[in-house]
Structure 1
Amino acid sequence: MNRKLRRANEAAARRSGAPSDPRVAGLFSSGLVHHQAGRLAQAETLYRETLALKPDHADALHLLGVIASQVGQHDVAIDLIERAIAHDPKSPVYHSNLGLALAGRQRFAEAIKSYDRSLSLRPGDAEVLYSRGNALVALGRPRDALESYERALLARPDHTEALCNRGAALAALGRNEEALASYDRVLKVAPDHAEALSNRGNALKCLARFDDALASYDRALTARPEDAQALFNRGVTLHDLKRFAEALASYDRALGVAPDHAEALSNRGDVLRQLGRREDALASYDRALVARPDYPEALSNRGNVLKILGRFDDALASYDAALRLSPDYAAALSNRAVTLQALDRLDEALADCDRALALHSDSVEALTNRGSLLQELNRFDDALTAYDGAVAIAPASIDAQMNRAFLLLLTGDFARGWPAYEWRRKLPSWVERGFAQAEWSGQDIAGKRLLLHAEQGFGDTIQFARYAQLVAARGANVILEVQPPLKPLLAGLFGVEVVAAGREELPPFDLHCPLLSLPHVFATTVATIPGGIPYIAAPADRFAAWAPRLPKDGLRIGLAWSGHRDNARDHERSIPFARLAPLLAIPGTSFVSLQKDVRATDADDVRNCGNMLDLGCELNDFADTAAVIAGLDLVITVDTAAGHLAGAMGKPVWLLLPRVPDFRWLRDRTTSPWYPSARLFRKGRADTWDEVIAGVAAELEAAELR
């Protein structure tokens, strides 16, 4: 029994000594004894017997209401206590306990009125002031709640619960240092106060004292190991620190205690999404929505996963559900815009971004998404303005900085683009090598040994490996560290020692440089892109092994139609194989598949294609791929490593590109300064691959490549 209810019983016990019917007094007194001992069923029976004899017995009505409140029957409690008040409106404890029952029904505004009536009869009651503060917090009025807690503490300075909740009110007002002091006052009196320790961790997290926050949560969990909220808060801190596996374990522990903890389920989905476990993330959001169907954040985050999975219509439905619950939810509007963009509903998407910005003009996410939309609409100057606005608000926003860098490079503004592209080092995918040697930034390197290391995909390594010879021309000895499947191919680069990442011990070196920082170091412009094509050739022995297997008749064409399925823009970089039928039907052609991994959705069409030799699954490394390409007349591909390889070999290559391609293909061009043998076929405003394929088919029918 809590202190407030015990005091109510004690007050009733004092009043029960007044002259009355002995039977009524005896029944009520016996009920009071049972109530004070926690035997609620027996107390309820005796209070009801009291009321059967004396229906207007105010204390019996009141305490019967208290029992109803104790067992969660708050509506019954409200009725009974209001009847007691009708008989005795001057009892402060009746009004305070009515406030508790009303709060139990989440009727907080009415609860505050009851507490105020109680305080008008007995000013300075610490318990009532404390309960009043709790109701004000529930109404989202932390400033008023703080004032109520302060008054409670004036009446009783050692009221630990009021001190603890005072800290929460201060934290809600952003006054985290003061909140911390309030929690520390609690812990001086009660060192194992789990709620104060957990809330103290929250304040420390807000102050960016993450290690101290985790230590405070751990102390809370030592005091109360099954504290779901402390486990959840600990998970949030680990989540913010991007320690995703540990965060997941903490959320799972919280859910072991409270399986329907909606926030833990939703945050667990966020972590699983970060870990690439998208289907599991979706299941976690769905569980959160079973626990709390009206949870807009879970609906919006669920939409994010569906968007990544390419289920755009389902994602749109999830965002719409979130916005029905919370029409001013700017993040849902912004992400809905991205989904509409994927569905090529650009004008609607732009309207969503503008609506989000009308609600929150400083929304970095909405500004960044708006820039992406404007970029797709070929409004490049406006897009740059949007990115610049996002960067001005949040200079540390990786998404805004990277989108800005990509746009500058796409538009050929290399002078600003390459320095901006150095922001890629802040991406979660960046691996910091931790070399003791300094990074090369362009200083004299004659006679030094320089390590150039691959950092991204196969295509990036092939494209930028050309810079190794520029470095060697400055008098350096160059070591090029590449992905293992590229070593047999790139080992033939003139004057460069090539090693395979992760498989070989690095030779000694003086300086190092990431491969994609070399254009910045060399201040590359569109006019000074290193040429020297071809700079890659197929090993002679590999060519000799593959040449006899290639078609003997017709125009021999290599084909690759899909990129990496985990790429965030895979839907713009991959084409269903069946859509390529117009190419495969052109007379006088023989196709060779360079597609190493064929998706399940394409497998039957590939297997049943009569005009294509499927070699992809037999290609062990890029030296094999180069040997096959060397024996072909043309390569047709989406934006994949096969396109880079063909271009670096000087082989005619036709690239099928989305409306807004990767930065290296620039804009409004049919040729590439990186690969003179490349032709670029771009989607138009209609954003359909069929239009691109029809254009390629027409060119192919007229081609004279031999």
Structure 2
Amino acid sequence: MVTLSQALQIALDHHQAGRVAEAEDLYRRILGADPEHADSMQLLGVLAAQLGRLEEAGHRLRRAVALRPAGAGGLSNLAGVQQSTGEAERAVRLYGWALRLNPELADAHASRSAALRRLGRAEPALAAAERALALVPAHADALANRAGALLGRADAPAAERCARRALRLGRGAAASTAAAHATLAAALAAQRRWPESEAAARDALAIDRNNGEACEVLGAVLAKLGRFEEALDAFAAAERLRPGPSLWAARGTALVAMARPRPALADFDRALAERPQDAGLHWNRGFARLLAGDYADGWPEFDWRRHDDRAEPPWRRFDQPTWRGEPLAGRSILLYAEQGLGDTLQFLRYVPLVAGLGAQVVLEVQRPLLPLAAGVEGAAQVIARGDPLPPFELECPLMSLPRAFGTVVDAVPAAVPYLRADPVRADRWRARLAGSGLSVGVVWAGNPRFPGDALRSPRLAGLRALFDVPGCRFYGLQMGAGRGDLAATPLPAAFTDLGPEIADFADTAAIMSNLDLVVSSCTGPAHLAGALGVPLWVALPFSPDWRWLLDRDDSPWYPTARLFRQPAPGDWQSVAGRMAAALAELAQRFRPLP
């Protein structure tokens, strides 16, 4: 006669060999003979979890824990079920209980790392994964979770290396391999390697079609690639498999990329209900509100950017309080640039308004803008970033001034020009640019270090159709890496490259002051032209930066601007075609009468 212990061993052999029906039958028969057989209760719960019967698994495993409260394995397995049902906080507590009973349980350390990652706690997740690896150096799950934790620390290259090692070690273990592929996909996405990321996510789903992390990453990547309907399908699958803040944050960001800020706000709101102090989520919600034209609620959210500890470079901290709109008469205040050159150029308009409140203004800008900013009205002192700061009583970054002034879309301070070209330089360029026909300056690319530059920059080839419009003289104002396009693009005699002659932004301003029109991508020179009050046409991607709003061809920030938007992601041909048609009409009107 077979004993219960022998029957359990036979059942376990079936289970490990994948003969789940035979194993389940024996577990149940053992429990029929002894309803309080803790091992069979636990293993039947594990089997139910493996088969996706999570409610039954939870019931069985809770019963097993009740039968054997000091059993670390039962607690760890129950934690795994809680984790699978989205109860990550409870899973972390149960793993902790199991590990107090048995600190050497490497599987529990590895799984606890995954649960901590789910809660956005990157540092404890990393420590848990490294504890598992100290116990079992070739633990594939721990490596995959360590990769995810490294990703949470914004170390995508290290996460990629770790995920690839997990894949090498996890061959044959479907769950480990799928998780490692999903984490690899996320690491590649963080490095903006979209096609590789898509392939890794699909590898994960080929192994485990219920891998929610892979669905989430795939949705985000497809949105970046402009395949919006596919992205929404992937997010819907992720919602079914693992709803939570990370999904809602990812989908909200994707919806912004789809130029759908209102539904994005719903996702950001759901994520913030669970993570109310997440600075990145608040910042994203602020971006969505501003893009939608909701400035009143957008500026306070946008100010959360200053609390993002993961920002590179780190946000500056001052002992002096931040000015938020209170009386300023007789006080000194530091106004300072914080992000790109275009941001600084856009928000210098507020300097005279601050001075008009009776403040002594110290203005700090990026060094390339110093010659241009030296003439800003209202600045008592203008210095370059990195120079010693004089004494001051209050501080405010330039991009927080709209909040302090309560700026709304219908009341943007848009009197132009608020920047002026140096008259000596302008006179020097006037003779250089003299000629018949319409004079048009062109800028086709932004800073390649900006994460979205590939989407926002049409490049020279994208605007090439403009140069065939008769009656125009075209002047290349492009600086930086975008100048590499010149060698690969055939250009007509009507095009003159001024780049080698431009020393700084003050030179660019002097040139622009002598042009009839500036055509630019969304980058610093566009803001310079707008600030100078020069006629400006801006080529915008399908999902533009928040400052350009949606569904309009004018800008409340720049009265002389006209906006040309992509009808679909990547469609610069349509933009250039509409610009060329408008330019031909303008050139015809500009042509002097015989």
TM above 0.5: yes
1:165 aligns with 2:73: yes
Q: What is the rounded CA distance, in whole Å, between the counterparts of 2:25 and 2:345 in structure 1?
A: 73
Residue range with higher mean Cα deviation, 510-519 or 172-181: 172-181
Residue range with higher mean Cα deviation, 258-267 or 665-674: 258-267
Shift of residue 263 of structure 1?
4.7
Residue in 1 that maps onto 2:85: none
Q: Deviations over 1:297-321 (max 9, x none)?
A: 4434444455566665554444444
Task: Please say if residues 167 and 180 of structure 1, whose CA atoms lie closer than 8 Å, have aligned partners that are also in contact.
Answer: no
Q: What is the rounded CA distance, in whole Å, between the counterparts of 2:586 and 2:336 in structure 1?
A: 39
Q: What is the rounded CA distance, in whole Å, between the counterparts of 1:260 and 1:631 in structure 2?
A: 67
Residue in 1 that maps onto 2:571: 688
Residue in 1 that maps onto 2:350: 467
Seen in structure 2, the aligned counterparts of structure 1 residues 243 and 639 have a Cα distance that, compared at 3 Å, is farther
Residue in 1 that maps onto 2:409: 526
From 306, 324, 332, give the equivalent of 1:425: 306
Paired residue type of 2:541: P
Residue in 1 that maps onto 2:178: 296
Alignment of 1:9-28 (within 5 A): none
Paired residue type of 1:411: A
Residue in 1 that maps onto 2:296: 415
Task: Please say if residues 473 and 494 of structure 2, whose CA atoms lie closer than 8 Å, have aligned partners that are also in contact.
Answer: yes
Residue in 1 that maps onto 2:53: none
Residue in 2 that maps onto 1:592: 475
Seen in structure 2, the aligned counterparts of structure 1 residues 290 and 516 have a Cα distance that, compared at 3 Å, is same
Q: For 2:143, what is the secondary structure of its paired residue?
A: helix
Residue in 1 that maps onto 2:526: 643
Task: Please say if residues 374 and 380 of structure 1, whose CA atoms lie closer than 8 Å, have aligned partners that are also in contact.
Answer: yes
Q: What is the rounded CA distance, in whole Å, between the counterparts of 2:219 and 2:197 in structure 1?
A: 11
1:494 aligns with 2:377: yes
Q: What is the rounded CA distance, in whole Å, between the counterparts of 2:160 and 2:94 in structure 1?
A: 39
Q: For 1:509, what is the secondary structure of its paired residue?
A: coil
Seen in structure 2, the aligned counterparts of structure 1 residues 344 and 474 have a Cα distance that, compared at 3 Å, is same
Residue range with higher mean Cα deviation, 297-306 or 679-688: 297-306
Q: For 1:559, what is the secondary structure of its paired residue?
A: strand
Q: What is the rounded CA distance, in whole Å, between the counterparts of 1:604 and 1:359 in structure 2?
A: 50
Shift of residue 656 of structure 1?
0.5
Shift of residue 457 of structure 1?
1.4
Task: Please say if residues 361 and 378 of structure 2, whose CA atoms lie closer than 8 Å, have aligned partners that are also in contact.
Answer: yes
Q: Deviations over 1:461-512 (max 9, x none)?
A: 11112111111111111112222222222122123122222x2121111111
Task: Please say if residues 93 and 118 of structure 1, whose CA atoms lie closer than 8 Å, have aligned partners that are also in contact.
Answer: no
Alignment of 1:527-566 (within 5 A): 527-540=410-423, 542-543=425-426, 554-566=437-449
Shift of residue 681 of structure 1?
1.1
Alignment of 1:432-443 (within 5 A): 432-443=315-326
Seen in structure 2, the aligned counterparts of structure 1 residues 492 and 233 have a Cα distance that, compared at 3 Å, is same
Q: What is the rounded CA distance, in whole Å, between the counterparts of 2:237 and 2:192 in structure 1?
A: 24
Alignment of 1:82-93 (within 5 A): 89-90=1-2
Q: For 1:439, what is the secondary structure of its paired residue?
A: coil
Q: What is the rounded CA distance, in whole Å, between the counterparts of 1:233 and 1:380 in structure 2?
A: 33
Shift of residue 459 of structure 1?
0.9
Seen in structure 2, the aligned counterparts of structure 1 residues 699 and 115 have a Cα distance that, compared at 3 Å, is closer
Residue in 1 that maps onto 2:487: 604
Seen in structure 2, the aligned counterparts of structure 1 residues 586 and 90 have a Cα distance that, compared at 3 Å, is closer
Residue range with higher mean Cα deviation, 421-430 or 258-267: 258-267
Q: What is the rounded CA distance, in whole Å, between the counterparts of 1:252 and 1:90 in structure 2?
A: 41
Seen in structure 2, the aligned counterparts of structure 1 residues 182 and 591 have a Cα distance that, compared at 3 Å, is same
Seen in structure 2, the aligned counterparts of structure 1 residues 609 and 164 have a Cα distance that, compared at 3 Å, is farther
Q: Deviations over 1:523-551 (max 9, x none)?
A: 11223212331121234555567667657
1:662 aligns with 2:542: no
Q: What is the rounded CA distance, in whole Å, between the counterparts of 1:580 and 1:635 in structure 2?
A: 13
Residue in 2 that maps onto 1:264: 143
Paired residue type of 2:382: V
- Return 5+ residue gaps in structure 2 as ranges: 50-56, 83-89
Q: Deviations over 1:122-148 (max 9, x none)?
A: 999xxx966974785576446645654
Residue in 2 that maps onto 1:9: none
Alignment of 1:240-279 (within 5 A): 254=133, 258=137, 261=140, 263-265=142-144, 267-268=146-147, 271=150, 275=154
Task: Please say if residues 550 and 631 of structure 1, whose CA atoms lie closer than 8 Å, have aligned partners that are also in contact.
Answer: yes
Paired residue type of 1:415: A
Task: Please say if residues 557 and 633 of structure 1, whose CA atoms lie closer than 8 Å, have aligned partners that are also in contact.
Answer: yes
Task: Please say if residues 266 and 288 of structure 1, whose CA atoms lie closer than 8 Å, have aligned partners that are also in contact.
Answer: no
Whichever of the two has the greater Rg, that structure is 1
Q: What is the rounded CA distance, in whole Å, between the counterparts of 1:323 and 1:243 in structure 2?
A: 28
Paired residue type of 1:165: G
Seen in structure 2, the aligned counterparts of structure 1 residues 401 and 240 have a Cα distance that, compared at 3 Å, is closer
Task: Please say if residues 293 and 409 of structure 2, whose CA atoms lie closer than 8 Å, have aligned partners that are also in contact.
Answer: yes
Shift of residue 401 of structure 1?
4.0
Paired residue type of 1:634: L
Seen in structure 2, the aligned counterparts of structure 1 residues 239 and 261 have a Cα distance that, compared at 3 Å, is farther
Task: Please say if residues 163 and 183 of structure 1, whose CA atoms lie closer than 8 Å, have aligned partners that are also in contact.
Answer: no
Q: For 1:438, what is the secondary structure of its paired residue?
A: coil
Residue range with higher mean Cα deviation, 614-623 or 431-440: 614-623
Q: For 1:598, what is the secondary structure of its paired residue?
A: helix
Task: Please say if residues 572 and 658 of structure 1, whose CA atoms lie closer than 8 Å, have aligned partners that are also in contact.
Answer: yes
Shift of residue 418 of structure 1?
2.0
CA RMSD of aligned residues (A): 4.6
Q: For 2:319, what is the secondary structure of its paired residue?
A: coil
Shift of residue 565 of structure 1?
3.0
Paired residue type of 2:209: P
Q: What is the rounded CA distance, in whole Å, between the counterparts of 1:597 and 1:132 in structure 2?
A: 67
Number of matched pairs: 567
Shift of residue 249 of structure 1?
14
Shift of residue 168 of structure 1?
2.8
Q: What is the rounded CA distance, in whole Å, between the counterparts of 2:96 and 2:227 in structure 1?
A: 49
Seen in structure 2, the aligned counterparts of structure 1 residues 329 and 401 have a Cα distance that, compared at 3 Å, is farther
Shift of residue 640 of structure 1?
0.2
Seen in structure 2, the aligned counterparts of structure 1 residues 182 and 357 have a Cα distance that, compared at 3 Å, is closer
Shift of residue 341 of structure 1?
3.6
Q: What is the rounded CA distance, in whole Å, between the counterparts of 1:285 and 1:315 in structure 2?
A: 13
Q: Deviations over 1:127-176 (max 9, x none)?
A: x96697478557644664565466557xxxxxxxx654355346445275
Seen in structure 2, the aligned counterparts of structure 1 residues 565 and 476 have a Cα distance that, compared at 3 Å, is same
Seen in structure 2, the aligned counterparts of structure 1 residues 608 and 251 have a Cα distance that, compared at 3 Å, is farther
Q: What is the rounded CA distance, in whole Å, between the counterparts of 2:167 and 2:197 in structure 1?
A: 15
Task: Please say if residues 331 and 359 of structure 2, whose CA atoms lie closer than 8 Å, have aligned partners that are also in contact.
Answer: yes
Q: What is the rounded CA distance, in whole Å, between the counterparts of 1:235 and 1:506 in structure 2?
A: 46
Residue in 2 that maps onto 1:626: 509
Q: What is the rounded CA distance, in whole Å, between the counterparts of 2:531 and 2:247 in structure 1?
A: 39
Residue range with higher mean Cα deviation, 654-663 or 682-691: 682-691
Task: Please say if residues 543 and 627 of structure 1, whose CA atoms lie closer than 8 Å, have aligned partners that are also in contact.
Answer: yes
Q: What is the rounded CA distance, in whole Å, between the counterparts of 2:484 and 2:265 in structure 1?
A: 38
Shift of residue 177 of structure 1?
5.3
Q: What is the rounded CA distance, in whole Å, between the counterparts of 1:507 and 1:652 in structure 2?
A: 38
Task: Please say if residues 539 and 564 of structure 2, whose CA atoms lie closer than 8 Å, have aligned partners that are also in contact.
Answer: yes
Q: For 1:466, what is the secondary structure of its paired residue?
A: helix
Instruction: Identify which of structures 1 and 2 has the higher relative contact order when contacts are C-alpha pairs closer than 8 Å and 6+ apart.
Output: 2
Q: What is the rounded CA distance, in whole Å, between the counterparts of 1:291 and 1:185 in structure 2?
A: 28
Paired residue type of 1:417: G
Q: What is the rounded CA distance, in whole Å, between the counterparts of 1:465 and 1:291 in structure 2?
A: 55
Q: What is the rounded CA distance, in whole Å, between the counterparts of 1:93 and 1:354 in structure 2?
A: 46
From 287, 291, 308, give the equivalent of 1:406: 287
Shift of residue 682 of structure 1?
1.4
